[in-house]
Amino acid sequence: MADQQVLDDFFARAKTALDLPAATYEDAYQLGGPEFADELAALVKNGQKTATTSGFELYTIEQDPLPIAGVYNIILDRQDRPVALTYTDNVFVTPFAKVDATIARREGEGSKSLASWRKIHEDFFRNEYHANGIQFDSVSSMVVVEEFHTVFPIVQTR
């Protein structure tokens, strides 16, 4: 688990850099679990990853609230060190099968194609659902899509 003081210090630096006097952050987390956390955090940090998808049914099992738009989150690396601060622009729930090429490209992983996204995420969700005693179905299972942008460190656009 990430050290609270380290998270607070990281957020304080971001607030100063962005001039956000009253802002707070909602959560601090790794993307994709420990085996993918460094790679995905780097994609977020450099602005290549601007969306993430999670299994809707897992929120019910774990009794976690769904993500919400309009909040800041800290993205962590594998060692739970803060790497980037994001701002969530949009959150929606959709069937896995309805995720389109735009979301696949925004996820920033692999070839950024829809076919690559489906393969990577279907394998990931099957494992995650199985670990929680439920079955993932690529036709009927729902996913939560979060669209965000990196605000700190400040991403240089070309």
Tens digits of per-residue pLDDT, 74-91?
A: 999 999 999 999 999 999
CA distances for 8 relative to 40, 73, 97, angstroms? 22, 12, 38
pLDDT at 21: 77
Query: pLDDT (tens digit, 9 = 90+) per residue, 93-152?
Result: 999 999 999 999 999 988 899 999 999 999 999 999 999 999 999 999 999 999 999 999
Structural domain including 60 reads: 4-152
Q: Compute the Cα dihedral for 6, 12, 17, 20 and give only its sign.
A: positive
- For residue 109 the two structure tokens come to 């992983």
Query: pLDDT (tens digit, 9 = 90+) per residue, 5-58?
Result: 999 999 999 999 999 878 889 999 999 888 999 999 999 999 999 999 999 999
Q: Look at residue 141 and tell me if it is in a domain.
A: yes
Instruction: Identify the CATH number of the domain in which residue 18 sits.
Output: 3.10.400.10
Q: Is 107 exposed, middle or buried (0-12, 13-18, 19+ CB in 10 A)?
A: buried
pLDDT at 33: 84
Q: Look at residue 65 and tell me if it is in a domain.
A: yes
Pairing of strands 142-152, 82-95: antiparallel
Region for 104 from its dihedrals, namely left if φ exceeds 0, alpha if ψ lies in -120 to 50, beta otherwise: alpha
pLDDT at 149: 96
pLDDT of 70 over the 70 cut = yes
pLDDT at 20: 86
Q: Look at residue 8 and tell me if it is in a domain.
A: yes
Count of domains observed in the chain: 1
pLDDT of 157 over the 70 cut = no
pLDDT of 158 over the 60 cut = no
Q: Look at residue 124 and tell me if it is in a domain.
A: yes
What's the chain's length in residues?
A: 158
Q: Look at residue 39 and tell me if it is in a domain.
A: yes
pLDDT at 154: 75
Q: Look at residue 157 and tell me if it is in a domain.
A: no
Q: Look at residue 107 and tell me if it is in a domain.
A: yes
